[in-house]
Structure 1
Amino acid sequence: MYKDNIIIEMNPRDIINRNVIGPKPVLVFGNIQDLALLRLTQAECLQNIYRKFRGEKYVGMFQLNKPTLLLLEPEIIKQFLVKDFQYFTDRGFIYDEKREPLTANLVNLEGSKWKVLRQKLTPSFSSGKIKNMMALLQDCSKQLLVYLQDITKGSLDSEIELHEFTAKFTTDVIGTCAFGLQFNSMSEESSDFRRMGQKVMAPSKISAVSKLLRVFFPTLFRILKLRTFPKEVNNFFLSVVSDTLKYREEHQIRREDFLQMLADIRGIEFSNPEADRSHEVEFTDNLIAAQAFAFFIAGFETSSTTMSFCLYELALNQEVQEQVFNEIHKIAKKYNNLLSYDSLKDLVLLEQCLLETMRKYPPVQALARVCTKTYKIPGTPIQLDKGTAVLVPVYAIHHDEKYYNDPEKFDPDRFTKENINARLSGTYMPFGDGPRICIGMRFAMTEMKLALATFLCKYKVYSCSRTQTPLKLDPAGFILAPKDGIWLKISLRKIDI
């Protein structure tokens, strides 16, 4: 396909049989040189390829040494992620249950183990379960206002960094709703759980290189004894979960939280000795800790980043912000000034703002899959061998003017009921798509709506001298995140709900 003057010729046909067009790869880096050297985010790197091959359904590319099929059109994306999901059940993320027990979570697990665990965990995220957690969420939202009063020190106008502010809130939410513990991230600067979250998610060149080795050179990753997360983080969460489960069992304590749901699943497994165990998953303390940890990571970072991006857009779009405030004001009065589970469902415009935020800034920049058995792309002679990597460039699709007119504009009206129904399937994927769609998306939307409604009914946000326009995205970030945070001015509203 390519004739290079370099030492070797890299060809996507090594694993992707037949002829697949694609960008010319560079020695060592393949087609992700700017990503590997931390010049661009994954979102921007894939967007450049996406734009060069408009009109194609897919292209062959290299992620360092890994041949990859990049899907470009909604029709083929749905074919891979939904219709033919049985060929692409896995994400291709390595996990090590012995050395790094926390990696054996629902995000990374594969095959039948993932399927069984997913089936058992899905009821834990039902609307009924989330409604039962509302009292816990409401307590956190009250602490949010206390924290705001503390950091603004009673001033009517203050400049604050929103990303860290929202991260402290979501850390406390996950603490109480997942672990049944008070993390106190908003009241204590030295909160252990906030510190652990920062250790896991803080962008750095070292963590970025380690991540690349883990994905593309897993054998070398193991030989060098690198870690997905610091050992301190692993030991901390294993200890917290084990101690909490033991304490609850000894004192016969129950809480309506995620950890209790996992413990209940384990109890059901043990109480049914005649059940077929051939495809079962043993709910050890370590496995439970891994799922709680995944909920912690996914729940605090993606939600906090989305909320900070949303507040940023509302600061730049004051008219939309006032419409959101008026909606919150109206709904709060309807429900006697209580932001309950039912009242949150009525905050339609606020939800549209969050959906539009996740279009512009999808936390997961691309969806990763791996071919688990030989697959022939329908209607073509092209065959994918087992092990072929597949990517869906979510950010690029969300920013394609073919699907979203003036894509850089923040426009919540894109997500009215009518526009959602008219949208082409496979063009909006902030939570993923198909059977591996994010299991906690309903919880995330509830958490974010409650926090933003609590904040916006008391405060207004504006841009200030430290506000970046446009925002710079962090190439070293684990998810799509602002490079230097999001600085805004907040002002206490004179109208009190």
Structure 2
Amino acid sequence: MIVILLLTVTACLSVWLLTKWRRVKRYWLERGVPHYPPHPVLGSLTFLQRENPSLWMRKLYKDFAAPYVGIWLFWRPALVINSPDIAKRVLVKDADVFRNRFLSSGKTDPIGALNVFTVNDPLWSSLRRRLTSVFTAAKLRSLNGITVSKTRNLLNRIDIEIQKSEPIDLREIFTDYTTDVIGESAFGVTSNSLVDGDSIMRKVTREFGSFDLHRGLSWSSIFFFPELVDIFRFSFFPKDTMEVLRKIFRSVIAQRGGYEKEVKDARDLLDALLKIKQEAAKENEEINEDLLLAQAAIFLLGGFDTSGGALTWTIYELAWNPQYQEKLYQDVLETKRRIGDRNFDSAILSEVPYLDCVLKETLRIFPPMGWLDRIASKDYKIDDNLTIPAGTTVYVNGVSMQMDPQYFPEPEVYNPDRFLPDNERDITPYSYMPFGEGPRSCIGMRFAFQTLRLGLAEILLKYEVRALPNTPKPTECQVEKNGLFFMPSEKLSVEFVKRDNEFVS
């Protein structure tokens, strides 16, 4: 009797699964949306841990010359947006419909779930409003001294490294640099990775940037199947590392007089977070330690590797494109001669237009995370042929539009002149958005540019960078498969040659 019951249950379950599967795999076909045939288990996610998501997005874009493509997140239908016009509606015009992200961490991971990158409304709106005041131009200028100091350390580190026989690992020294800048800016603790070769903050960021199988599965679940996070107790940040970060966080707060000591003038991000907590308390809104720590952690994670990676790709590209390097060098040199003994700062470097042209072109080809996820909060009309139901996930495929010859002629060619003022006006709106667009665009964009401008300007003032023999061209470099950011998986190196000008000793 039990055997018959089990066989009946199994048969019924099999019929149900088969019926469900048939409905799932016909979802986009019935709506006339182009798509790859889904895998019976993974849907469209067969690329995970095999290929970087940005490269897969580009392949999808090339294979379907269509404004949107249907995919499946396991058995959940989702839509990839390949059109700047639709992207504008999703990210800006109808942003209220698409306020929330799909990616999410679970209840077992409060720090991962509460940061401004992953959290959704209503908490997101409150957090974003309060954090915006931290990233004003005036607040960022107050951090300029830290960036200047760390840039000096970066130049000293390069001087030391070029004396060695081994080629310099660009990503290693540049993530040391960005860790030191962000570590002191966000947490107010001394971080001397560039000087000592290590620091407590660098140990934290190395763990953040390490992707073994477990970490890869954690992030794959958070980004593409959040329901698994609580089941397997996955976490956005490595749990051991977060305990270290919590101890640092509490120690610095205690040194500053605790949570109750009034913050009048925020010196750094930590002060700003404490001030946010105090202001919220006056409005009868509770902000606990996990919420504050989550913002500091995402600022560190979201900045150190993305900025370090951007500087790596930029220096590597300039070594292979000496004509653009020379053009930028002359602009930087002219600016330095104009200011004399004064240090470069964010205000001065914002007046070197070609500096931003170079950085923007790097981010066009190598955006750290070039796809933006959103969830439709209600039924939404994409065009006359398609309306998606509430709850549908959409991905804006920025990484691919930025390499479309329709918007960027000869997209594989590194050409910062695209972003000269006269040329930039001709760029199709919403075909270029490495920092996202709309209310949920990257809140740290200004800080990132401040860090990158200063590091790049000082490097090029002191060194000419040259491509090394037998190294791959930038477009031939291998990209990480286990991680989700668009980062090199191999060691990238160039030759640093000291320049002959009055500012190099």
**Alignment TM-score, normalising by the size of structure 2:** 0.89
CA separation of 1:37 and 1:437: change in aligned 2, threshold 3 A: closer
In the alignment, the residues of structure 1 paired with residue 324 and residue 452 of structure 2 have an alpha-carbon distance, to the nearest angstrom, of: 17
Q: 2:306 aligns with which of 292, 297, 302?
A: 302
**C-alpha displacement at 1:6, in angstroms?**
12
| 1:237 to 2:249 alignment | no
Q: How does 1:94-493 map to 2 (within 5 A)?
A: 94-96=104-106, 99-153=109-163, 159-249=167-257, 256-270=267-281, 272=282, 275=283, 277=284, 280=285, 282-337=286-341, 338-377=343-382, 379-380=383-384, 382-465=386-469, 467-469=471-473, 470-493=476-499
- The Cα offsets for residues 382-410 of structure 1, whole Å up to 9 and x where unpaired, read as 33223211111222111110100000000
CA contact (8 A) 1:68 1:389 kept: yes
Q: Provide structure 1 residue ranges, at least 5 long, that are not aligned to the other structure.
A: none
AA aligned to 1:139 is S
Separation (CA, whole Å) in 1 of partners of 2:440 and 2:361? 22
Higher-Rg structure is: 2
- 1:364 to 1:9, Cα distance in 2 relative to 1, 3 A: same
Q: Is the 8 A contact 1:91 1:108 kept in 2?
A: yes
Moved more, 231-240 or 107-116: 231-240
**Residue equivalent to 2:500:** 494
Q: Judge conservation of contact 1:12–1:61 (CA < 8 Å) in 2.
A: no
SS of aligned partner of 2:275: helix
Code of the residue aligned with 2:194 in structure 1: it is M
Matching residue of 2:15: none
Cα deviation, residue 144, structure 1: 1.2
Q: SS state of the match for residue 436, structure 1?
A: coil
Matched-pair contact (CA < 8 Å) for 1:31–1:62: yes
Distance 1:116 1:12, change over 3 A: farther
| Shift in Å, 1:97 | 5.7
Residue in 1 aligned with 2:5? none
Checking the alignment, whether the CA contact within 8 Å between 1:102 and 1:286 is kept in structure 2 is no
1:355 positional shift: 0.2
Question: Deviation at 1:134?
Answer: 0.9
Greater shift after overlay, 470-479 or 90-99? 90-99
Q: Shift of residue 161 of structure 1?
A: 1.0
Tell me by how many angstroms 1:238 deviates: 1.7
Q: Is the 8 A contact 2:28 2:34 kept in 1?
A: no
What is the rounded CA distance, in whole Å, between the counterparts of 1:459 and 1:6 in structure 2? Answer: 65
Letter in 2 for 1:83: K
> What's the % identity of the aligned pairs?
28
Q: Give distance in 2, aligned partners of 1:264 and 1:151.
A: 41
Q: Is the 8 A contact 1:15 1:384 kept in 2?
A: no
Q: Does the 8 A contact of 1:466 with 1:488 survive in 2?
A: no
1:71-95 CA-to-partner distances (Å, cap 9, x unmatched) read 1111111111111111111111223
Paired with 2:44 and 2:432, the residues of 1 have a C-alpha distance of 25
**C-alpha distance in 2 between matches for 1:496 and 1:181:** 35
What residue is the counterpart of 1:65 in the other structure? Answer: 75
Structure 1 residues 66 and 8 mapped into 2: Cα distance closer, same or farther (>3 Å)?
closer
Q: Is the 1:213–1:220 contact (alpha carbons within 8 Å) kept by the matching residues of 2? A: yes
Contact 1:145 1:455 in 2 (8 A): yes
Instruction: State the AA in 1 paired with 2:276.
Output: I
Is 1:49 matched up with 2:60? yes
CA drift of 1:17 comes to: 8.3
What SS does structure 2 have at the residue aligned with 1:461?
strand
Change (3 A) 1:47 1:249: same
Q: Please list every run of 5 or more consecutive structure 2 residues that lacks an aligned counterpart in the other structure.
A: 1-17
- Supply the distance in 2 between the matched residues of 1:10 and 1:51 (Cα, whole angstroms): 27
Provide the residue aligned with 2:6 in structure 1. Answer: none
SS of the residue 2:257 aligns to? helix
CA contact under 8 A between 2:108 and 2:230: conserved in structure 1? no
Q: Residue in 2 aligned with 1:80?
A: 90
Query: Residue 10 of structure 2 corresponds to which residue in structure 1?
Result: none
The separation in 2 between residues aligned to 1:427 and 1:218, in whole angstroms, is: 29
477-486 or 406-415, which deviates more: 477-486
Other structure's SS at 1:444 match: helix
Distance in 1 (CA, whole Å) between partners of 2:365 and 2:49 is 24
Deviations 1:195-217 (A, max 9, x none): 21111122333322222233343
8 Å Cα contact 1:262/1:288 also seen in 2 = yes
The answer on whether the counterparts of 1:62 and 1:68 sit within 8 Å (CA) in structure 2 is yes
User: Could you tell me whether the CA contact under 8 Å between 2:403 and 2:411 is conserved in 1?
Assistant: yes
In 1, distance between residues paired with 2:388 and 2:26? 9
Give the direction of change, closer, same or farther, for the CA distance of 1:294–1:17 in structure 2 (3 Å limit): farther
Query: Shift of residue 284 of structure 1?
Result: 1.8
How far, CA to CA, are the matches of 1:41 and 1:394 in structure 2?
15
Q: Is the 8 A contact 1:100 1:234 kept in 2?
A: no
Mapped contact 2:187–2:268 kept (Cα < 8 A):
yes
Identify the range of structure 1 (452-461 vs 60-69) with the bigger mean alpha-carbon deviation: 60-69
Amino acid paired to 2:44: N
- SS of corresponding position for 2:167: strand
Q: Structure 1 pair 105/17, CA: closer, same or farther in 2 (3 Å)? A: farther
Q: TM-score, normalised by structure 1?
A: 0.91
SS in 2 for 1:368: strand
Aligned length: 480
